[in-house]
Structures are given as C-alpha cells and as structure tokens.
Amino acid sequence: MRGLRSIGFLLLGAIANGCTDRQVVGTDDVIPPGEPQEVYSVTGDGEVTLYWSPPGDVDLAGFSVSISQDDVNYYRLGDVAASRRHFVVSGDVMPSSVPFDFANGSTYFLGVTAFDMAGNESALTTQSTTFDTPRPAGLGLRLYRADGPMVDASGYDFSRSPYGYATSANTLFTDIYFVWENGQPLMRTPYPSVVEMEDKGLFDFDDPAVGWLDPAQWNPTDSVVLRPGHVVLVKIFEESRPGNTVEPYNVAKFQVVSLDAESVVIDWAYQIDPNNPELKPTPAGPVARRAPDKEVQG
C-alpha cells in the first residue's frame, strides 16, 4: 500500500482531475493524513460519481481515486485538489494502465485516499471503499395505449438494446405495456409469471428510497395504476422462472413524467447485472469485507 509517499518533500503545482505527477521539496513531515470519510457512490448511465468527506488535517493537499474489479488489485484513476469532494468515474477517465474497461452492468470497487503537502498518503481501507454497478437509463420514453391504434409503440422491453425504444404490447419479450381500462391508466405486464411491479409512490426519480429493490419490502402485482410523479419498481425474472430454483432476475424502475388519454411518458432505469438489486443513485456504503493495505497500481 502506498502509505508514505515522497517523504521529505513539499507539494508543488496544480492537481487536475486526472493522473498528475506530484513534485515536492523540503520538509521533514512523515505523518500521513487521515482517511477520507463518508465515502459513497452515485450510479449513473455509463458512469459512477464517487463522493467523500475530507479528514481534518490542516496540510491536506488533495485526494487520489482508485478502481478495482476484484477488491484486491486497485489502479489509480487520478488526483483532485483538496477542495474537491467528488470524482466522476467513466470510460473517458480510465488511464491506459488500467487493464479493464468501464461499462454498464459491471461492478467496480472504488476507493479514495488523502495526501498532504509533504506527499504522505493515507491508507485505502474498509472505511474508504465503496462498490457500484453503472446501468443504462433513459428519459422521455412515450408509450401509447395498447387498446388504441398505436399498439406497436405501447410496450417496453427493458433488456432490449439499443435501449429506450417502444415496442408492441404483444411481442414475446415485452416486459410492460400501457393501457386504459375502466377509465384508469394502467401499466400491465403480459407475463405475470415472470414480471412483477410495485408502485412505490411519489418520489424524485433519484431518491434513495427507490434506489434498491428490497425483498423485505416487496409487495408486487402484475399491474399498477399510473399517477404522475410516482415511481414504479419492476422485477423481471428469466423466462425459465417456473420451476427454476435459482430464479435469476433483473430490476428496473420507471417514473410517470406525464399522462394523457392516448399516451404516457416515462423516465426509466434498468440494471443489466443479474440478481443485482441496485438502481441508485443512492449511497452504496463501505465494503466491510475488504482487508486493509491492498496494493494500488499506478
């Protein structure tokens, strides 16, 4: 682990959001700063934003962000100045020294360390590591009523790529579709044995309360009455669910943006990583199982 770094030097130069050489001169300080605290991540589409709180050291110079796929081998993404409290991780900031790509549906472990004006660096430990899985999302998807003339644009298959395009309510892979019944706007599923839904109520789409599908608080149905602003969670089992003891599934959510007599507009998110209940943004929390003093490359 990079505990003490460039001992006996003083940091010079600006630190940008990227890999930056730290040049230092003339000091006897060998005490590293404290670790960053309250580290958490916010999930996005093709990106993850890492947040933290600084330690209380007066000679704090900046922070270094690292990434891992296995929670063992960490690779340095870049440094930011002491005034920064976040770092956006995406494919665009992955240095060539990182031996893997950053993509939706893959889980990554993220850590942050603090370094001081003398180049001493804190440890990357259980208190400064979080994990996250970026997932696709979309805005403004319009679905037309399945009992009307535009049935071919009444349904949606969350797993269909490219994402964000309506489909027919009658296709084999449609997960949900829009319809009016008995004077009520509904979102239904044509396959209630493999698709479940629950209206979680009136929330901001990024509210942590609708960032996870919690099995202990799951009361599903095969249809929901649509109300503007309400967020609906969706649990989609594989087509082989009947008789499948493992029951692999994916989770999704949508929010009713607007609604009229002919159509509904929704924002949506879909977790393509199987059996991962994460739909954030919401704090992921520290990774408790991680041992300290892991090696950071780069």
Q: What is the pLDDT of residues 219-255, one digit of tens each?
A: 999 999 999 999 999 999 876 555 555 678 899 999 9
Domain residues of the chain, as ranges?
11-135+283-297, 137-271
Q: 92 in helix, strand or coil?
A: helix
Q: 150 in helix, strand or coil?
A: coil
| Residue 95: pLDDT band with limits 50, 70, 90 | very high
Burial 219-255 (b: 16+ CB within 10 A, else e): eeeebbebeeebbbbbbbbeeebeeeeeeebbbbbbb
Query: pTM, whole model, 2 decimals?
Result: 0.64
Burial 61-84 (b: 16+ CB within 10 A, else e): bbbbbbbbbebebbbbbbbbebee
Lowest mean pLDDT across 5-19, 84-98, 263-277 = 5-19
The residue among 255, 188, 263 whose CA lies nearest residue 227 is 255
C-beta neighbour count of 101 within 10 angstroms: 9
**Assigned CATH for 11-135+283-297:** 2.60.40.10
Lowest mean pLDDT across 12-21, 22-31, 68-77, 249-258 = 12-21
Name the most confidently modeled range: 36-45, 167-176, 208-217.
167-176
pLDDT > 60? residue 1: no
